[in-house]
A and B are shown apart, each in its own frame.
Chain A
């Protein structure tokens, strides 16, 4: 018994990363970043408007949060749809009460499916970022490049047209990427992507079409991850976000600007028994000094100006 000799060879064992996607750097070794008006902690609330189709293919990977039962899985279909009918409006109400401006990631397929919601978002003037076409079109590693290019074109163009915004941000369905995703996004005018979770601050990512910024949107602090993946309680969700906010604000005060990035699904946190946890979080966070409520593009613009 033995393994192929390549198993004990290490062609990338050298300084830095084992790939050429981005450079190695420790957060504390980078120049300090300051937010506007001396604020220390940026608060970025990112809402997801998702379409989970009933005829999910799950090919080749299971769709996180998607259908799990034999067709027709009405329970998961309708419970996800709940988010776009009820949860999102409940979330808007709470965010408005706290004067919080969200950023909204929208599956392209939702533009036609919920015109009323799209009108409301346009009227509100919220920033919109690309979120793929729908949750069963995962940008996984085996997708053909032409097919993926088309998905990205379709997703971005429908949002740009509907909202009359440049739409320069992107969150892939379930945060999956192929090796081509960053390059295809860059080619189509996307300046930042939120899929990678390897940092607490933005950094530059290399593609054959030029640089794109990775703007980290914590997965560990996401409602779906805490409540559904980890099956933690609503009380624990609130506790975790509050502990994270306190920690990051303290680190930002001792070091430099930090971001509290909360990715929220209306079908998860928009439930009546969960929404109070968000209120609890916002009461705490908004009660702290030095909070800068920003959209994803606000953060990116402020950070980019300081990278000269």
Chain B
């Protein structure tokens, strides 16, 4: 085990080169619905239990199924109302289980990125070869069912190994060259995209995908009241919009159809979306578009700045 994952270098939020977004936007805003499939009876992982208590865990399984049966349509229609294309963090087995949902998202030109096969299959304990197979399977599934060359990764249930990001970068290049596998959502160290070191040496970035704004973290872990969650989203936006006037920022709302799409939470979510998209200088976009824009326009400049700042303030 390492004391630092080594994916990125220290880069102070101070006198950074200016990041610009299309049409002079201050904030790049994206919504990342996690569309997940949890198994009722997954095989046991020695490092993490999928469900509490004896089989069957119908409460936890049931509410996640609710997300697909009931919640998906609600969130999709709401995002559509505010001109937002979702960037889907996808349990790729869902392509097989619930192709109706995949088709609905394809029709709306939403982005699909990999979130593993099932959210009940953890990376913990896998050999590098197993993890490579799992990641490859997920990228191939997305291509087969949607025609998209998967650009991003969020490890299933945020379960990682020391190889996760390297394997994703490598496998996607083997399959599709530079058209795939160039951003990760697994790191929470910044409000702007940052270059990530991978073994492949390819241009690969971290796109901010906020853990703090994640509805499951807010509602389940931090037990935030729904209207308070709405206020948090607006406050998060306000500050990033303000700072974005000087240097482009990113706001992400990671969502789950079994959380944000429940009837007692939709109002707070809608108010926040209406507020955010009601501002003029917001680039409403997707994870892939942010990563591509950054790599094309800013990657080299930023890397040079990071390198220059390694020795301290000059």
Which A residues have a C-beta under 8 Å from some C-beta of B? Answer: 1-4, 6-8, 10, 12-19, 24-29, 60-61, 140-142, 175-179, 195-200, 219-221, 229-233, 236, 239-241, 243-244, 246-248, 251
Contacts and interface: CB of A to CB of B under 8 A. Distances in A.
Contacts, number: 153
Interface of A is mostly: loop
25 contacts: A2-B127, A3-B126, A7-B121, A8-B130, A13-B96, A18-B37, A24-B69, A25-B69, A26-B68, A26-B73, A26-B100, A27-B69, A60-B53, A60-B54, A141-B55, A179-B55, A195-B58, A196-B62, A198-B61, A199-B70, A200-B70, A219-B63, A221-B263, A239-B227, A243-B266
B158 to A, nearest CB: 18
A13 B225 CA distance: 36
Interface string B40-65: 11010110000011111011011111
B268 interface: yes
Given A2-B130, A197-B62, A10 B56 contact: no
A155 to B, nearest CB: 19
B interface, size bucket: 35 or more
A15 B93 CA distance: 10
Nearest to B104: A26
B223 interface: yes
A230 B125 contact: no
Nearest to B117: A10
Given A220-B262, A240-B226, A29 B100 contact: yes
Interface string B208-237: 000000000000000101111000000000
Contacts of B262: 220, 244
Contacts of B52: 61
A129 B268 CA distance: 35
B45 A7 contact: yes
B66 A197 contact: yes
Nearest to B96: A13
Contacts of B99: 15
Contacts of B109: none
A186 to B, nearest CB: 16
B1 interface: no
Contacts of B263: 200, 221, 243-244, 247-248, 251
Interface in B53-109: 53-56, 58-59, 61-66, 68-70, 72-74, 93, 96-101
Given A7-B126, A18-B40, A219-B63, A13 B97 contact: yes
B177 to A, nearest CB: 26
B49 to A, nearest CB: 13
Q: Sort A-B residue pairs by CB-CB distance and give the 3 closest, nearest first.
A: A141-B54, A2-B127, A244-B264
A61 B227 contact: no
